Amino acid sequence: MVSGLFSPLTLRGITLRNRIGVAPMCQYSATDGVPDDWHLVHLVSRAVGGNALVLTEATAVVPEGRISPGCLGLWDDAQVAAFERITAGVRAHGAVPGIQLAHAGRKASTGLPWADSGPLTPEQGGWPVVGPSSLPFADGFPAPHELTVAEIAEVVAAFVSATERALAAGFELIELHAAHGYLLHSFHSPVSNRRTDSYGGDLEGRTRITREVVAAVRSVWPDEFPLVVRLSASDWLDAPSWTVEESIELSRWMAGAGVDLVDCSSGGVAPGVRIPLEPGYQVPFAARIRHEAQVPTAAVGLITEPRHAAEIVADGRADLVLLARESLRDPYWPRRAAAELGALDRLPAPAQYLRAWRG
């Protein structure tokens, strides 16, 4: 069991040193999409802590795709240099630098969570939001502009441009954000997509934009580097909504189109949804997609204990465990897990920390 959590995982030409990674977590601390010293310390410290994969927060492919004015972006060449020092630092400490490329869709243009996280007015610096249909996310949110087919093509092109910048910035793994009610997921779900053209209706139509983004990104992303997609595997709502069965079918297609791993989350398309929160509550999604779609998966969702993480990998429910809030609480969680599980020899500490971590 222990050896599984601390065994390497190879995806294309990249090998992760273990099965533990840092999930994307918004820091709301960028200026004009540019990362600063906060992002450098936040991300590089998790590499020092022993994580195998360090993912940036959701990084918008266009300015209007940001969740908030403080979110990262990669729509401009000026942002590339700021990311370069982060990827160099993550790589220098043994982890693979990954970036999550995203568009927030109808959930964009909101305030900082520690201030007022509601939708911003134009006077507050807000901007118009877009979506598959003109349906607001919730009461008090603006109705999004329904994207035209030509505008959808522009979104796909923006993902491609951001991918090329990610390569220039030194990233070695890309995750496409198709979860949590943001733009791509909002096309997937009948809750937010009422279109009657080729981007709506049946499963093929509702997933068309994601399939186009995957194909376009894979065409410019080097063959030796992995491509990952984060899915909301279920809306946790009654029909008509996005289901795990549809996620399995989409994952089958993505696996054949060059996606190397599916990061399995859930929810986010509507407010007030009742979700049965408990440790590992989303792991069954990762297990089903892994076995039924025959594609590697990452598990997330209240995974906090080392033995639990080790069991998930040992039981074949997922290939990788991604930690979010637990990683915020403890940047050195992988080293603590190695110590608890008697595997410090599998994760040598930096020389500067040997007095604290023996092995």
As annotated, the active-site residues are: 182
For residues 229 and 215, is the Cβ–Cβ distance under 8 A? no
Here the tokens at position 303 are: 């995974």
Residue type, position 8, single letter: P
Burial bucket for residue 140 (CB in 10 Å: 0-12, 13-18, 19+):
exposed
For β-strands 14-16 and 9-11, DSSP reports them as antiparallel
Here the tokens at position 25 are: 């977590």
- Own/partner pairs for 341-347, CB < 8 Å, 24+ apart? 341/2, 341/5, 341/6, 341/306, 341/307, 341/310, 342/2, 343/2, 343/3, 343/5, 343/6, 346/3, 346/6, 346/18, 347/6, 347/17, 347/18, 347/50
Q: Whole-angstrom Cα distance, residue 261 to residue 264?
A: 9
**98: three-class secondary structure by DSSP:** strand
**117: three-class secondary structure by DSSP:** coil
What does 165-176 look like in DSSP terms, one character per residue? Answer: HHHHTT--EEEE
245: Cβ contacts below 8 Å, ≥ 6 apart: none
Q: How many CB atoms lie within 10 A of CB 1?
A: 11
DSSP 50: T
Q: How many helices (H) and strands (E) does the chain have?
A: 12, 12
Q: Which residue has the tokens 């060059």?
A: 258
Q: Whole-angstrom Cα distance, residue 132 to residue 144?
A: 8
